[in-house]
Amino acid sequence: MPAMRRGKELFVPYVITEKCLGERYATCVSVCPVDCIKPGEYRGEEFMIIEPDVCIDCGLCLPECPIGAIVETEDEDPEWAAINAELTPAFHDNPPVPERPRNDPPRKPGNTIVNP
């Protein structure tokens, strides 16, 4: 199911999921050729989103997240695809954040390093 924005369907090529909430490694940002991955806060915690209108579907970000918080299609997590799309206007102009070391242990129980 496509994400909805202003009553229109929106294709979301890659999605940052709930695993990123409170983790935010930001290692995905440096590989993005179009600067479509933006930081911000959601539910009072650090988070990142992929701007669906900017993403060119290159896939470079997918293996970069140490905890595997990025999925390849909106079908894998429609709820977080919609959240990425909804947060885009608020996150768009946020300045970059420093990367967290890839080997830094996850902060949340249930998250594990899958892409060292």
Taken in order 61, 59, 15, 8, the sign of the CA dihedral is positive
Residue 43 lies in a domain: yes
Residue 97 lies in a domain: no
Residue 103 lies in a domain: no
Kindly report, residue by residue over 17-67, the tens digit of the pLDDT.
999 999 999 999 999 999 999 999 999 999 999 999 999 999 999 999 999
- The domain in which residue 28 lies consists of 3-91
Question: Residue 30: which CATH number?
Answer: 3.30.70.20
Amino acid identity of residue 44, one-letter, is G
Residue 98 lies in a domain: no
Residue 113 lies in a domain: no
Residue 67 lies in a domain: yes
Residue 116 lies in a domain: no
User: How many domains does the chain contain in total?
Assistant: 1
Short-list 116, 25, 27, 41, CA closest to 83: 41
Stretch among 2-6, 73-77, 86-90 having the lowest mean pLDDT = 2-6
Distances (CA, A) of 98 to 32, 39, 46, 93: 15, 10, 12, 16
